[in-house]
């Protein structure tokens, strides 16, 4: 069976106060993206060491943009943005690291695939508080982009557990969540709700 993955994205305010939540939910998420644009390399490394301290596996940690930090700390990989180093350069010099790319169009997706990206994040799919002035991409655009590439595509942006079902009907490889977990009154229950949808989608595909 093809697994559907759940990526959790940090919200720019990652600190040790999030550690109890992550310790509780670590078995129910597939990857944690450390997306902290304002933090220095030292601060990022301190955060990763704190995660190691609670038993969070490095094999589940992806660092946004900072290839140096991901390499030095032996994390699973990096997530690249439009301003980051190109995918081909990362894959050439760090072939063992997973390399994801955030894309916003079919053209960007195809280019990232050609350069050797392992997976893509695409969005935002639905209305999102983090991008209130931007028009959502929607499901039709998501489906078109997924059909244009052969590598995994994870949808992001405004995804609730209920909306996740529609995402997975487009054959997305999974979902990436930020506020739906961090801002939930009960993060563990929120994660389990997302995980339930992912498991159901995997089962339905093979029944």
Query: Active-site residue 124, yes or no?
Result: yes
Distance of CA 10 to the CA centre of its chain: 9
Residue 61 near residue 75 (C-beta atoms within 8 A): yes
Neighbours of 141 (CB within 10 A): 17
> Residues 7, 18, 33, 124: which is the catalytic one?
124
Distance of CA 29 to the CA centre of its chain: 10
Cis ω for the linkage preceding 112 (within 30 of 0): no
Measured CA to CA in angstroms, residue 54 lies from 24, 47, 110, 195 at distances of 10, 11, 38, 22
Residue 207 makes CB contacts below 8 A (sequence gap 6+) with none
Q: Catalogue the active-site residues.
A: 124
């Amino acid at each position: 069976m093809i697994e559907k993955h759940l990526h959790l994205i940090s919200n720019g305010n990652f600190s040790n106060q999030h550690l109890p939540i992550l310790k509780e939910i670590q078995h129910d998420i597939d990857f944690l993206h450390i997306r902290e644009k304002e933090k220095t390399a030292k601060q990022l490394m301190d955060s990763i060491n704190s995660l190691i301290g609670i038993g969070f596996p490095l094999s589940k940690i992806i660092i946004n943009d900072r290839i140096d930090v991901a390499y030095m700390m032996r994390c699973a990989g990096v997530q690249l943005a439009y301003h980051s180093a190109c995918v081909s350069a990362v894959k050439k010099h760090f072939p063992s690291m997973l390399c994801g790319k955030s894309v916003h169009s079919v053209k960007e997706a195809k280019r990232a695939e050609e350069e050797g990206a392992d997976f893509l994040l695409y969005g935002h799919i639905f209305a999102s508080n983090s991008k209130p002035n931007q028009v959502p991409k929607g499901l039709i655009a998501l489906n078109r982009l997924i059909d244009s590439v052969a590598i995994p595509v994870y949808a992001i942006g405004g995804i609730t557990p209920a909306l996740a079902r529609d995402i997975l009907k487009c054959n997305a490889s999974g979902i990436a969540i930020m506020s739906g977990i961090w801002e939930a009154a009960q993060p563990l229950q929120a994660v389990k709700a997302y995980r339930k949808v992912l498991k159901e989608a995997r089962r339905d595909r093979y029944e």
